[in-house]
C-alpha cells in the first residue's frame, strides 16, 4: 500500500502506517519525523538529489506516487498564470493549440518526466530556465487577461460554494425536523402512560375497563404516527430537476396488431408408414419378439421398448417411394 | 433418422446413369489435371478407362470386405457397411488413379470404426494388417492418418451412414407382430442377410433408402421360399389404395435385383493386367499428387520426404504384386 518506506529512516514507515509522507519540490518523499530531523540540524538539502530546500516547501503527500504530487504542484503553479478559458478563443482548434502549449511548458518544468538520467538532467536544467523565462514573459503580456480570468474563476467557485451551502442547510433542516417529530411522539406516549396511572389512582371504574380504554388510546396514537410518517411533504420537483406538472409531450405509441399465434404440433415427414408410439409397443405385442432387457440393462434406464421402437422407426423411415 | 439425414439429401441419386456420369467426370478430371500440368511422356493410353477402373474398384472393395471380416475383434455388420459406403462414395468423386485404393480402403475401415463407435485403438488396428512387419504396420498407420482428413473432406463431412441391417431387424419384428399369415419369418433371415451383403457390393446404397433395400431383401427371400407376402404391403403398410406407390416399390425392387445380378466378381487375370498400370500411373504422378495426399496445408512437423513415400509405396505394391495373394 505504501511505497517503500521513507528513504532516510527506512523502517519507520512499516512500523507506523499512520505516519504521513511529505513531498517537496524535487519530488522526493520524506516522512514527517525525518523532515523535522532534517531541519533541526539546520541543513536543508534533499537526501536523494541534494537540492536546497525550505521547510515550507514540504506538503503532505496526497498521492501514492510522489512524482504525481510533484506534477500536481507544478500544474497548479502554471495554471495560475495560464488560465484562459474555452470561451476566450474563437475556435476549438485555437483552444486545443493553447492547451498543448500549456502542456509543453509544464513538461519543460518537468512534470511527468521519466526518472532522471544524466541527459535528462542536463536538458531539465536548461528547460527549466527557458520555460521560466517564457512564463515570465507571458505573465507580463497577458497581465490583464490573467486578472480577469482569475476573477471569473473565483466567482464561479463562490457560486458553487453557495449551492453546496444551501444543500447542506436543507439537509440539516430535515434532520432537525425528523428529530423533533420523534421527540413529540415519545412525549405523547409518555403522557398517555402517565394518564393511565393517574386514572387508575383516581377513577371509580374497574381496572379492566381502564386498561381497555388505555389500549384503545394507544392504538389510536400509533395509527396517527403511522399516518404522519406516510404523508410525504409534497414537492414540486422531480429528482432530475424537472418541475412537476410540466407537460412532456409523448407521441402516442402506435398500437401493433398482429396475427394471433396458433400452436401447431410438429409434423415430421418420414416418407414411410406411421410408426406406433413407444408406449403402445407392448400393448400391440411388439415386445414379445424383442430380446428382453436384463437387470443390468434396466439399471441404466434401458427398456426393450427403446430398441424395438428404434428398429421399427428405421424400418419404416423412407420406405415409400417419393411421389412424382 | 434416415428421413432427415444427409444421406437422403446428398447421397441418394436418381438413377444408375447419374452415378455412372459422376464416375466418368472424376476420371476425366484426373486426366485433365495431369495433362494440364504438362508432364512429359503422357499418352492417353497410359490412363485407365472407366471399365478398367471399375474392375480395380471392385477388386479392392472385395479386399476391404475380407479385411473387415477377418478383423479381430469382430467388426459389427454396420461398421463393415459404413466402411464400404465410404469407399464407394469416395470413388464417386475421385479417380482410382489419383489416390491409391489400398490406403483409402484402410482409411475407410479406420474411420468407420471411429464413427460407428466401435472402439479400436490405432495399434490394434495396425495389428490386423497381417502381412506386414511391425515397422511396416507403423508406416501404414501413418499413411492412414494422413489420408483420414482427405477422406472426410471428400465425403463432404457427411459421416453418418444408414445401413439396411437395422431396418431389416425392424421389418422382421413387424412381420412377427402384425403379419400372422407368415408363419416363420425367422426362416427368411439368412437369405435376407446374404442379399444385404451382396447389395452392399453394388450401387444400391447410393440409389435406394436402406429401408427399401431391407424390404427388397425380405421379399426376395420370401419369393425364394415360395411364400407370398403381397398382402403385407397392402394391409400392414397401409398401401391398399395407393396402387402407384406399390408399383413404384416393386419397380425399385426389380432394379435392385438387376443390380445384384449384374455384379460380377473381378477376374484375376484382368486385375493382373490393370494393376501394374495403376502402379505405374501412381509412381509417375506420385510426386505431383504428394501434396494432395496430405489432405491439409503443409504442416512442417508432419512432413515426410516425398521420396520416402514413393519408396514405401513401391514396397507395398511389390507385396501386392505376388500373384495368388489377391483375393
Using the beta-carbon criterion (under 8 Å), do B8 and A318 form an inter-chain contact? yes
Least confident of B40-49, B68-77, B214-223, B298-307: B298-307
Using a CB–CB cut-off of 8 Å, the residues of A that contact B are 268-274, 284-286, 288-290, 308, 310-321, 323
Confidence of residue B40 (pLDDT cuts 50, 70, 90): low
Closest by Cβ to A315, choosing from B170, B176, B249: B170
**Alpha carbons A11 and A4: distance in angstroms, whole number:** 9
Using the beta-carbon criterion (under 8 Å), do A319 and B215 form an inter-chain contact? yes
DSSP symbol at A11: T
- The answer to whether the peptide bond before residue B108 is cis (omega within 30 degrees of 0) is no
pLDDT for the residue numbered A122? 42
Residue B297: pLDDT above 50?
A: no
Least confident of B77-81, B218-222, B307-311: B307-311
Confidence of residue A120 (pLDDT cuts 50, 70, 90): very low
Residue A119: pLDDT above 70?
A: no
Q: Which residues pair with A35 in a beta bridge?
A: none
pLDDT for the residue numbered B302? 43
Compute the average pLDDT of residues B195-222. Answer: 93
Using the beta-carbon criterion (under 8 Å), do B209 and A312 form an inter-chain contact? no
Query: Do the two domains B2-161 and B164-262 of this chain adopt the same fold?
Result: yes
Chain B residues lying within 8 Å of A323, measured CB to CB? 244
Chain A residues lying within 8 Å of B162, measured CB to CB? 314
**Alpha carbons B319 and B327: distance in angstroms, whole number:** 13
Length of chain B in residues, anyone?
A: 327
The answer to whether B216 faces chain A, any CB pair under 8 Å, is no
Using the beta-carbon criterion (under 8 Å), do A308 and B173 form an inter-chain contact? yes
pLDDT for the residue numbered A115? 45
**Alpha carbons B81 and B87: distance in angstroms, whole number:** 10
Compute the average pLDDT of residues B50-68. Answer: 92
What grid cell was written down for B117?
A: 463407435
Confidence of residue B311 (pLDDT cuts 50, 70, 90): low
**Alpha carbons A296 and A287: distance in angstroms, whole number:** 18
**Alpha carbons A311 and A316: distance in angstroms, whole number:** 9
Backbone angles phi, psi at B99, to 5 degrees: -125, 125
CB A268 within 8 A of CB B3: yes
Instruction: Assign 3-class secondary structure to A14-55.
Output: HHCCCCCEEECCCCCEEEHHHHHHHHHCCCCECCCCCCECCH
Searching chain A, which residue's CA lies closest to the CA of residue B207?
A321
Tell me, rounded to whole angstroms, the distance of Cα A17 from its chain centroid: 27
* Residue B56: CA count within 13 A, CB half-sphere: 23
**Beta carbon pairs, A and B, within 8 Å:** 87
Q: How far is B190 from chain A (nearest CA, A)?
A: 17
CATH of domain B164-262: 1.10.472.10
Residue A134: pLDDT above 70?
A: yes
What grid cell was written down for A193?
A: 402512560
Least confident of A69-73, A89-93, B90-94: A69-73
Using the beta-carbon criterion (under 8 Å), do A320 and B214 form an inter-chain contact? no
Q: Which of A307, A315, A316 to mutate to test the interface with B (most CBs of B within 10 A)?
A: A315
Compute the average pLDDT of residues B102-122. Answer: 92
Q: How far is B237 from chain A (nearest CA, A)?
A: 6
Least confident of A160-169, B172-181, B215-224, B299-308: B299-308
Compute the average pLDDT of residues A179-203. Answer: 89
Chain A residues lying within 8 Å of B183, measured CB to CB? none
Residue B223: pLDDT above 70?
A: yes
Sheet holding A59-60, edge to edge: A29-31, A21-23, A59-60
Chain A residues lying within 8 Å of B166, measured CB to CB? 310-311, 314-315
Average pLDDT, chain B: 84
**Alpha carbons B8 and B211: distance in angstroms, whole number:** 12
Tell whether the torsion through CA atoms of A261, A265, A268 and A271 is positive or negative. negative
- For the whole model, what pTM was predicted? 0.57
pLDDT for the residue numbered A282? 79
Q: Which residue has the higher pLDDT, A9 or B290?
A: A9
The answer to whether B2 faces chain A, any CB pair under 8 Å, is yes
Q: Which residue has the higher pLDDT, A28 or A177?
A: A177
Confidence of residue A12 (pLDDT cuts 50, 70, 90): low
Searching chain A, which residue's CA lies closest to the CA of residue B168?
A315
**Greatest distance between any 2 Cα atoms in chain B:** 70
Provide the 3-class DSSP secondary structure of residue A90.
coil
Chain A residues lying within 8 Å of B239, measured CB to CB? 273, 320
Q: How far is A263 from chain B (nearest CA, A)?
A: 23
Q: How far is B63 from chain A (nearest CA, A)?
A: 29
pLDDT for the residue numbered B325? 46
The candidate with the shortest Cα–Cα distance to A224, out of A273, A181, A281, is: A181
Q: How far is A305 from chain B (nearest CA, A)?
A: 12
Residue A99: pLDDT above 60?
A: yes
Provide the 3-class DSSP secondary structure of residue A243.
strand
* B33 CB-near residues (< 8 Å, 6+ apart): B98
ipTM exceeding 0.95, yes/no? no
Using the beta-carbon criterion (under 8 Å), do B167 and A314 form an inter-chain contact? yes
Domain ranges in chain B? Answer: 2-161, 164-262
Chain A residues lying within 8 Å of B244, measured CB to CB? 323
Residue A13: pLDDT above 70?
A: no
Count Cβ neighbours within 10 Å for each residue of B313-327 and write b for 16 or more, e otherwise.
Answer: beebbeeeeeeeebe
**Alpha carbons B96 and B56: distance in angstroms, whole number:** 8
Least confident of A62-71, A249-258, B12-21, B299-308: B299-308
Residue B154: pLDDT above 80?
A: yes
The answer to whether B254 faces chain A, any CB pair under 8 Å, is no
Searching chain A, which residue's CA lies closest to the CA of residue B213?
A319
Compute the average pLDDT of residues B305-320. Answer: 56
The tens digit of pLDDT for each residue in A213-251 reads 888 888 888 888 888 777 766 676 777 766 776 666 677
Searching chain A, which residue's CA lies closest to the CA of residue B177?
A286
Does the structural domain B2-161 have CATH classification 1.10.472.10? yes
Least confident of A95-109, A120-134, A238-252, B214-228: A120-134
Using the beta-carbon criterion (under 8 Å), do A313 and B214 form an inter-chain contact? no
pLDDT for the residue numbered B289? 46
Confidence of residue A253 (pLDDT cuts 50, 70, 90): confident
Residue A299: pLDDT above 80?
A: yes
Residue B322: pLDDT above 70?
A: no
Using the beta-carbon criterion (under 8 Å), do B169 and A315 form an inter-chain contact? yes
pLDDT for the residue numbered B87? 95
**Alpha carbons A132 and A102: distance in angstroms, whole number:** 13
CB B31 within 8 A of CB B47: yes
Closest by Cβ to A273, choosing from B167, B210, B237: B237
The answer to whether B173 faces chain A, any CB pair under 8 Å, is yes
**Percentage of residues in chain B having pLDDT higher than 90:** 47
pLDDT for the residue numbered B295? 44
pLDDT for the residue numbered A199? 84
Closest by Cβ to B212, choosing from A273, A274, A318: A318
The tens digit of pLDDT for each residue in B227-275 reads 888 888 887 666 667 788 888 888 999 999 999 998 888 888 888 888 8
The candidate with the shortest Cα–Cα distance to A322, out of B258, B196, B159, B251, is: B251
Least confident of B178-192, B244-258, B275-289: B275-289
Using the beta-carbon criterion (under 8 Å), do B211 and A272 form an inter-chain contact? yes
pLDDT for the residue numbered B312? 59
CB B208 within 8 A of CB B200: no
Instruction: Assign 3-class secondary structure to chain B.
Output: CHHHCHHHHHCCCCCHHHHHHHHHHHHHHHHHHHHHCCCCCCCHHHCCCHHHHHHHHHHHHHHHHHHHHCCCCCCCHHHHHHHHHHHHHHHHHCCCCCCCHHHHHHHHHHHHHHHCCCCCCHHHHHHCCCCCCHHHHHHHHHHHHHHHHHHHHHCCCCCCCCCCHHHHHHHHHHHHHHCCCCCCHHHHHHHHHHHHHHHHCCCHHHHCCHHHHHHHHHHHHHHHCCCCCHHHHHHHCCCCCCHHHHHHHHHHHHHHHHHHHHCCCCCHHHHHHHHHHHHHHHHHHHHHHHHHHHCCCCCCCCCCCHHHHHHHHHHHHHHHHCCCCCC
Using the beta-carbon criterion (under 8 Å), do A319 and B1 form an inter-chain contact? no
Compute the average pLDDT of residues A91-95. Answer: 84
Tell whether the torsion through CA atoms of A234, A236, A237 and A238 is positive or negative. positive
Amino acid at each position: 500500500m505504501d511505497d517503500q518506506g521513507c528513504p532516510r529512516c527506512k523502517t519507520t514507515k512499516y512500523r507506523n502506517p499512520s505516519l504521513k509522507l511529505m513531498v517537496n519540490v524535487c519530488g522526493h518523499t520524506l516522512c514527517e519525523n525525518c523532515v523535522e530531523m532534517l531541519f533541526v540540524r539546520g541543513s536543508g538539502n534533499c537526501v536523494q538529489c541534494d537540492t536546497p530546500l525550505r521547510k515550507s516547501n514540504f506538503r503532505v503527500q496526497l498521492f501514492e506516487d510522489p512524482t504525481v504530487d510533484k506534477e500536481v504542484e507544478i500544474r497548479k503553479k502554471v495554471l495560475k498564470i495560464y488560465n484562459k478559458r474555452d470561451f476566450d478563443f474563437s475556435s476549438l482548434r485555437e483552444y486545443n493549440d493553447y492547451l498543448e502549449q500549456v502542456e509543453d511548458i509544464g513538461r519543460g518544468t518537468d512534470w511527468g518526466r521519466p526518472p532522471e538520467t544524466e541527459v535528462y538532467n542536463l536538458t531539465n536544467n536548461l528547460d527549466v530556465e527557458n520555460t521560466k523565462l517564457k512564463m515570465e514573459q507571458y505573465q507580463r503580456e497577458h497581465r490583464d487577461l490573467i486578472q480577469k480570468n482569475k476573477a471569473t474563476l473565483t466567482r464561479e467557485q463562490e457560486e458553487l460554494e453557495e449551492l453546496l451551502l444551501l444543500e447542506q442547510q436543507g439537509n440539516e433542516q430535515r434532520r432537525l425536523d425528523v428529530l423533533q417529530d420523534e421527540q413529540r411522539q415519545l412525549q405523547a406516549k409518555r403522557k398517555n402512560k402517565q394518564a393511565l396511572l393517574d386514572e387508575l389512582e383516581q377513577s371509580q371504574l374497574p381496572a379492566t375497563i381502564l386498561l381497555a380504554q388505555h389500549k384503545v388510546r394507544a392504538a389510536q396514537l400509533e395509527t396517527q404516527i403511522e399516518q404522519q410518517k406516510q404523508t410525504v411533504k409534497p414537492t414540486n420537483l422531480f429528482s432530475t430537476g424537472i418541475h412537476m406538472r410540466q407537460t412532456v409531450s409523448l407521441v402516442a405509441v402506435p398500437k401493433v396488431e398482429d396475427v394471433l399465434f396458433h400452436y401447431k404440433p410438429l409434423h415430421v415427414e418420414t416418407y414411410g408408414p406411421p410408426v406406433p408410439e413407444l408406449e403402445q409397443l407392448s400393448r400391440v405385442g411388439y415386445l414379445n419378439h424383442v430380446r428382453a432387457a436384463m437387470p443390468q440393462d434396466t439399471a441404466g434406464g434401458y427398456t426393450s421398448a427403446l430398441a424395438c421402437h428404434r428398429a421399427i422407426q428405421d424400418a419404416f423411415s423412407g420406405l415409400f417411394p417419393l411421389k412424382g | 433418422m434416415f428421413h432427415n439425414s444427409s444421406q437422403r439429401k446428398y447421397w441418394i441419386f436418381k438413377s444408375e446413369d447419374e452415378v455412372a456420369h459422376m464416375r466418368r467426370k472424376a476420371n476425366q478430371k484426373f486426366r485433365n489435371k495431369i495433362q494440364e500440368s504438362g508432364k512429359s511422356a503422357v499418352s492417353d493410353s497410359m490412363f485407365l478407362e472407366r471399365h478398367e477402373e471399375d474392375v480395380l474398384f471392385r477388386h479392392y472393395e472385395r479386399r476391404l470386405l475380407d479385411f473387415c471380416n477377418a478383423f479381430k475383434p469382430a467388426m459389427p455388420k454396420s461398421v463393415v457397411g459404413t466402411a464400404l459406403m465410404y469407399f464407394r462414395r469416395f470413388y464417386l468423386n475421385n479417380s482410382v488413379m489419383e489416390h491409391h485404393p489400398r490406403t483409402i480402403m484402410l482409411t475407410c475401415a479406420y474411420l468407420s470404426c471411429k464413427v460407428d463407435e466401435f472402439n479400436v485403438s490405432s495399434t490394434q488396428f495396425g495389428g490386423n494388417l497381417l502381412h506386414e512387419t511391425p515397422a511396416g504396420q507403423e508406416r501404414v498407420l501413418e499413411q492412414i492418418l494422413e489420408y483420414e482428413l482427405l477422406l472426410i473432406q471428400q465425403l463432404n463431412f457427411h459421416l453418418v451412414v444408414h445401413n439396411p441391417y437395422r431396418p431389416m431387424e425392424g421389418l422382421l419384428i413387424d412381420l412377427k407382430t402384425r403379419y400372422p399369415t407368415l408363419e416363420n419369418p425367422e426362416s427368411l433371415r439368412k437369405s435376407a442377410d446374404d442379399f444385404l451383403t451382396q447389395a452392399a457390393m453394388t450401387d444400391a446404397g447410393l440409389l435406394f433408402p436402406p429401408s427399401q433395400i431391407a424390404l427388397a431383401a425380405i421379399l426376395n427371400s420370401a419369393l425364394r421360399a415360395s411364400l407370398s407376402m403381397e398382402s403385407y404391403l397392402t394391409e400392414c403398410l397401409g398401401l391398399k389404395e395407393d396402387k402407384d406407390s406399390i408399383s413404384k416399390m416393386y419397380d425399385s425392387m426389380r432394379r435392385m435385383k438387376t443390380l445384384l445380378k449384374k455384379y460380377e466378381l473381378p477376374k484375376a487375370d484382368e486385375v493382373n493386367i490393370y494393376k501394374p498400370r495403376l502402379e505405374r500411373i501412381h509412381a509417375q504422378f506420385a510426386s505431383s499428387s504428394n501434396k494432395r495426399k496430405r489432405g491439409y496445408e503443409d504442416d512442417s512437423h508432419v512432413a515426410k520426404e516425398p521420396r520416402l513415400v514413393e519408396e514405401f509405396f513401391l514396397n507395398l505394391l511389390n507385396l501386392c504384386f505376388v500373384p495368388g495373394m489377391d483375393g
